[in-house]
């Protein structure tokens, strides 16, 4: 990999297309152990079943590499950037390697869309960091649209060990078109509530739906808290009312807040607010992203929609 043969002085963000275990290992291991990579701090976050083969392939060098199971670390794609940022901050002043695989074939369509948005945001949040980031994509199992989106979100592509610039790269944090479309419609049986000043009714509806949806006590408190925070954002940042929708399936409770505000910062909710920031400056979105198992955010001049998915511990039998 020529672009990463030397220690990077700025971000290098590569999509590695692979088919099969041998090609996967050749690409990942070469990225981690060839040239100056041998001396650089490294972080590997991939689906858990791949961690063992990478450790084994490093042949005694695994001790200098931090590992995480992406099934847990990236279950909500919004959790990934804070984890990677913490690793970079812990090695400030050093060139760092990161292998991150946030997209795999068994993820839901909504999860893949949010993980694709995450990939675009990497180019923005780490633009000035001395980091080489390799993102593997399984060409045998991922669909053509997902692979095309990888070309849109990565400035450099790797295939068969050879690097090339991506002609489709959009730059910055521009999302592929289908990842910025309106969310699917709210189901007809969803509970709907308009709010403007008093949020007591919002909290009560969230608590009742959490109980009916099968959440435990502690998780119910978290759901009520995140709904209150999202509704508070409406009151803090708009002069109009907001609308809460809430519904549940066997596997999860879904909360949606819609208002007329416009969120200008594409990284809102994906970066921890500064410790000295006022409560209203990003805390609500940050907490929603941290407490939700998946967060979908769409914003524009006509308003903002935030949809939060919270999994139930034991899917309902009905």
In a domain, residue 273? The reply is yes
Residue 16 pLDDT exceeds 80: yes
Residue indicated by tokens 């198992």: 293
CA distance 311 to 237: 29
Residue 157, domain extent: 2-180
Range in 1-15, 97-111, 169-183, 235-249 with the lowest mean pLDDT: 1-15
CA distance 229 to 24: 42
CA distance 120 to 150: 9
Residue 184 pLDDT exceeds 70: yes
One domain, residues 100 and 207: no
How many domains are contained in the chain? 2
One domain, residues 50 and 122: yes
DSSP 240: S
In a domain, residue 125? The reply is yes
Single pTM value for the model: 0.91
pLDDT tens for 34-85 read: 877 888 999 999 999 999 999 999 987 777 899 999 999 999 999 999 999 9
In a domain, residue 186? The reply is no
CA 220 to chain CA centroid, nearest Å: 23
**Last residue within a domain, chosen from 149, 180, 211:** 180
Average pLDDT, the chain: 90
Given pLDDT bands bounded at 50, 70 and 90, which one contains residue 284?
A: confident
């Amino acid at each position: 990999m020529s672009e990463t043969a030397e220690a990077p002085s700025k971000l290098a963000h590569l999509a590695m297309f692979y088919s099969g275990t041998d090609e996967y290992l050749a690409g990942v291991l070469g990225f981690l152990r060839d040239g100056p990579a041998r001396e650089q701090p490294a972080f590997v976050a991939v689906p858990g079943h791949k961690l063992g083969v990478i450790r084994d392939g490093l042949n005694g060098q695994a001790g200098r590499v931090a590992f995480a199971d992406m099934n847990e670390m990236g279950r909500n794609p919004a959790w990934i950037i804070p984890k990677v940022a913490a690793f970079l901050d812990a090695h400030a002043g050093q060139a760092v390697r990161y292998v991150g695989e946030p997209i795999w074939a068994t993820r839901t369509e909504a999860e893949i869309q949010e993980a694709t948005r995450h990939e675009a945001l990497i180019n923005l949040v780490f633009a000035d960091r001395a980091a080489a980031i390799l993102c593997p994509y399984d060409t045998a199992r991922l669909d053509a649209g997902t692979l095309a989106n990888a070309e849109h979100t990565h400035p450099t592509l790797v295939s068969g060990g050879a690097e090339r610039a991506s002609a489709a790269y959009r730059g910055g944090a521009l999302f592929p078109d289908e990842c910025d479309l309106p969310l699917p419609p709210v189901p007809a049986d969803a509970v709907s509530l308009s709010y403007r000043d008093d949020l007591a009714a919002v909290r009560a509806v969230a608590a009742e739906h959490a109980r009916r949806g099968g959440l435990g006590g502690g998780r119910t408190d978290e759901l009520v808290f995140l709904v209150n925070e999202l509704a508070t954002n409406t009151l803090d940042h708009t002069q109009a009312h907001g609308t809460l929708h809430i519904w549940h399936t066997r596997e999860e409770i879904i909360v949606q807040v819609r208002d007329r505000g416009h969120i200008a910062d594409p990284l809102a909710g994906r970066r921890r607010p500064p410790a000295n920031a006022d409560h209203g400056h990003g805390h609500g979105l940050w907490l929603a992203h941290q407490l939700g198992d998946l967060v979908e955010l769409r914003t524009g001049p006509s308003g903002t929609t935030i949809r939060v998915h919270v999994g139930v511990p034991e899917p309902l039998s009905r």
